[in-house]
Structure 1
Amino acid sequence: MSAPQYPGYAPAPAAAKTNGLAIAALVSSFFISLLGIILGHIALNQIKTTGESGRGLAIAALVIGYASIAVAIIAFVVIGVAAANR
């Protein structure tokens, strides 16, 4: 015996699969910024071709990765200038 079919109701669509590289990019961007950036770009390319979800995760990984590298460069420059002026 199968479940009754009601007119006007379609089965719920399956949830889109989240790209695994997008998740890995976001997690790794907190620890190894360069890896997060690389994985984020690869994930965006895969998401574009496969239609998976996770675009926001990949973009967040890129933003965090690039911001971390920019902060590190600024910190090195400031420390270098401070050390040179001693």
Structure 2
Amino acid sequence: MSDPNTTPSGTPDSQPAADSGVMPPAPPAAPAAPGYAAPAYPGSAAPAATPPSYQAPGYPQAAPAYGAAPAYGAAPGAYGAYQSGPKTNVLAIVSMIASIVGFVLILPVIGPIAGAIMGHISLGQIKRTGENGRGMALAGVIVGWVGIGLQVIGIIAWFSLMAWAVSQGSGSYSY
């Protein structure tokens, strides 16, 4: 019994025989998409708009070379990293801390002197390098000099009190 879909050479109908040299017919073309136009609104004679063209999403540009400025609108730095400004002068921080520690009598003589000296040095460094910390340096200088002044006044008052106490005493004690 023979299959009704086969040819006399034994191949199915959908495939041509290798001997015949006849090609099968080409598949039918896909139907054309209908053209859609914008709806016409009453009273408007606007031409039909073309649909928007869609494009593949853009990928980010490569990072700029080291030291190059980023493009306008780009994130400042790799992966949106925090960009720091000028650093704070360390001597200004130490000056302020030493002055305050000396002012509250933890280091009564050394603190204000060290704070005032380091504050003056850090002000010069800040002026030369453009670092931050001028306010802390000024605080160190001011608190240092005020602390030194109060200690000098305190020492003078102490010796004055001792001199007055000695002058008030009598030369003899009676019991």
In 2, the alpha carbon distance for the partners of 1:14 and 1:2 equals 24
Unaligned runs of 5+ in 2: 1-58, 62-69, 77-81, 103-110, 166-175
Deviations 1:14-44 (A, max 9, x none): 3221001100111111231111111101100
Shift of 1:80: 1.0
Q: 1:72 aligns with which of 144, 147, 151?
A: 151
> Which residue of structure 2 aligns with residue 33 of structure 1?
112
Cα distance, 1:7–1:43 mapped onto 2, change above 3 Å: closer
In 2, the alpha carbon distance for the partners of 1:24 and 1:76 equals 26
> Which residue of structure 2 aligns with residue 83 of structure 1?
162
Greater length-normalized contact order (CA 8 Å, ≥ 6 residues apart): 1
In the alignment, structure 1 residue 61 sits paired with structure 2 residue 135: no
**Stretches of 4+ moved more than 6 A in 1?**
none
**Identical aligned pairs, as a percentage?**
36
TM-score normalized by structure 1?
0.83
Shift of 1:10: 7.8
> Which residue of structure 1 aligns with residue 126 of structure 2?
47
Q: 1:18 aligns with which of 88, 100, 103?
A: 88
Larger Rg: 2
Unaligned runs of 5+ in 1: none
For the aligned residues, what is the CA RMSD? 2.5
In 1, the alpha carbon distance for the partners of 2:60 and 2:84 equals 20
Q: Which has the higher helix share?
A: 1
Q: How many residues align?
A: 85
